[in-house]
Amino acid sequence: MISGGSTDGDSTRARKARGRRVCLEVDGRRQNEPIISFGPEDLRGVSLPHNDALVIQARVANYDVLRVFVDNESSVNVIFKEALVQMDLHEYPLESVETALFGFAGHAVYPEGEITLPLTLGSGNLRKTVMTVFTVVDAPSSYNIILGRPAMNEMRAVASIYHQKTKFPIRGQVGEVKGDQPSSRKCYGETVRVDQKRVRREDEGKKVAQEVREIEEKEVNFVAEDEQEVVEVEPGKSIRVVRDLEDSTRELMGISPKVAEHQLNIIPGSRPVKQKKRHFGPEKDKIIE
């Protein structure tokens, strides 16, 4: 479940104001909408039994987008940066977002911004399009888009994970989008592999941090300057060593390039890569400092 973002306002004050306003709003225009229900006929083509997430195909900004995860628990609609790049929309100006998102790997993620795009569900005469606000996230994901509560409410859509289907009202009728179970299972497998790699990296990081702490806790012996002498390694280069250093150790100054040599394997004339500043969350930023 993803929480946060600017769905209910980009500050605590804005969210409280919206909460008071929503309590007073009454919309009677939708009283004649058709009843949405699910029955045995909706299970045709569904592989049972299953525990698959609801992953569908949607049309966004005139692009047919696969791997769209329907998540009723998320407070925002998310479109991942890589999907925008594939759609050639990554250079469009984004609205700024100050509120972080929570739920990605258990820590805060700061969005790149927000973008409003037309979202279309359904097919044929039962197609419905609404302008949808997507929060842009630059993070690895098996999905291209996550449809959260805002999009589902705007569509007046109802999702049934068991029936692998999303239904919505359209001109007095009911439109629908079927889930893609093979895609759902593939996304789940990829997500598990990514999480396993992340856990391994975190464990390795903890191990390195522990080793550093152990080294720092060890007693360090400093050699006084009068107990040192300057030894010339090569013309113009010298180092300080302990005066009573053994002769066998003194002879090991430096390593011949015939033994080992370090090179950077780069393409001549290539330009350096410059990335945007990335936020890691307050706790990690403190550690980095």
- Mean pLDDT (whole number) for 20-31: 54
Report how far residue 5's alpha carbon sits from residue 74's, in angstroms, rounded to the nearest whole number: 10
The pLDDT value given to residue 42: 95
Q: Report the sign of the C-alpha dihedral through residues 7, 13, 16, 17, in that order.
A: negative
- Mean pLDDT (whole number) for 24-45: 78
- Which has more pLDDT, 41 or 206? 41
With cut-offs at 50, 70 and 90, classify the pLDDT of residue 22: low
Report how far residue 70's alpha carbon sits from residue 160's, in angstroms, rounded to the nearest whole number: 10
The pLDDT value given to residue 221: 65
The pLDDT value given to residue 137: 92
Q: How many CB atoms lie within 10 A of CB 280?
A: 14
The pLDDT value given to residue 15: 57
The pLDDT value given to residue 285: 85
- Which has more pLDDT, 129 or 226? 129
Which region among 22-31, 46-55, 132-141, 182-191 has the lowest average model confidence (pLDDT)? 22-31
Residue 6 predicted with pLDDT over 70: no
The pLDDT value given to residue 268: 81
Q: Which amino acid is at 243?
A: R
SS3 state at 87: coil
The pLDDT value given to residue 214: 74
Q: How many CB atoms lie within 10 A of CB 154?
A: 17
With cut-offs at 50, 70 and 90, classify the pLDDT of residue 33: confident
Residue 2, Cβ density class (10 Å: 0-12 exposed, 13-18 middle, ≥19 buried): buried
- Mean pLDDT (whole number) for 124-133: 94
The pLDDT value given to residue 7: 62
Q: Looking at domain 3-179, what is its CATH homologous superfamily?
A: Acid Proteases (2.40.70.10)
The pLDDT value given to residue 122: 94
Report how far residue 267's alpha carbon sits from residue 79's, in angstroms, rounded to the nearest whole number: 34
The pLDDT value given to residue 220: 59
Residues 6+ apart with CB under 8 A from 175: 121, 122, 123, 126, 127, 128, 167, 168, 169
Query: Which pair of structure tokens corresponds to residue 244?
Result: 């009573």
Task: Give the pairing of strands 145-147 and 101-104.
Answer: unpaired
The pLDDT value given to residue 103: 75
- Mean pLDDT (whole number) for 212-235: 74
For the chain, the domains span 3-179
Give yes or no for a contact between 56 and 178, defined as CB atoms under 8 angstroms apart. yes
**Residue 95 per-residue DSSP state:** B
Residues 6+ apart with CB under 8 A from 73: 1, 2, 148, 149
Query: Which pair of structure tokens corresponds to residue 171?
Result: 């001109």
